[in-house]
Each structure stands twice: as structure tokens, then as C-alpha cells.
Amino acid sequence: MPSLSPTITEANIARCLKKEGDQVAPGEVLCEETDKGTVEMECMEEGYLAKIIHGDGAKEIQVGEVIAINVEDKADLDKFKYFIYLSFIHE
């Protein structure tokens, strides 16, 4: 989850605009995220959306947490079909 501002520590995903398997390119909007307002989150790299970790309606996602996994090659999509992401937060 990217930081929306210097004071934001967490945000929510209102809705995803891409689905797993979709080809994505830099500048394309992946999802809309919210804190106090709605902001479009753009893709930074070209590839394919292999796995959505936090999807529509996800709440209280910490800045820096993985929200999706992209792969460069379409052939790599199957490697993430049954992938389960485990997040461990250290305090």
C-alpha cells in the first residue's frame, strides 16, 4: 500500500478496477483507495496482475503492505493460482 500523504499510516481499498490475469501497464489505474477521500492507485510496472492480496472493501491496510502481485510474463500467472500471502506485522 503506497502512502497517500506523509501522515497516513493505513488506508482502505474501495474497489479494484483490474482482475487477476489482466495485463497492466504503467499509468493504468489498478484500484481506488480511500482514507478521507478517494484516490486512484496506478500501476508502476508493465506485466500481468497475478494475485490480488487485498481486494474490494479491504480495510486498514498498513502503508508498505503488499496489496497485489504482478508478474512480467503471462506464463507465470499459473504459479500464483493457489498462492496464499501471509503477512506478519512486527511491533
Q: 3-state SS of 1-30?
A: CCCCCCCCCEEEEEEECCCCCCEECCCCEE
Residue 17 has phi, psi (to 5 degrees) of: -100, -10
pTM of the full structure: 0.83
Tell me, what's the pLDDT at 34? 78
Tell me, what's the pLDDT at 30? 92
| Residue 50 DSSP code | E
Tell me, what's the pLDDT at 90? 47
Candidates 9, 8, 21, 84; CA nearest to 48 is: 21
Which residue positions in the chain have pLDDT lower than 50?
Answer: 90-91
Tell me, what's the pLDDT at 9? 85
Residue 43's H or E segment, with its range, is: none
H helix and E strand count, the chain: 0, 7
Tell me, what's the pLDDT at 79? 95
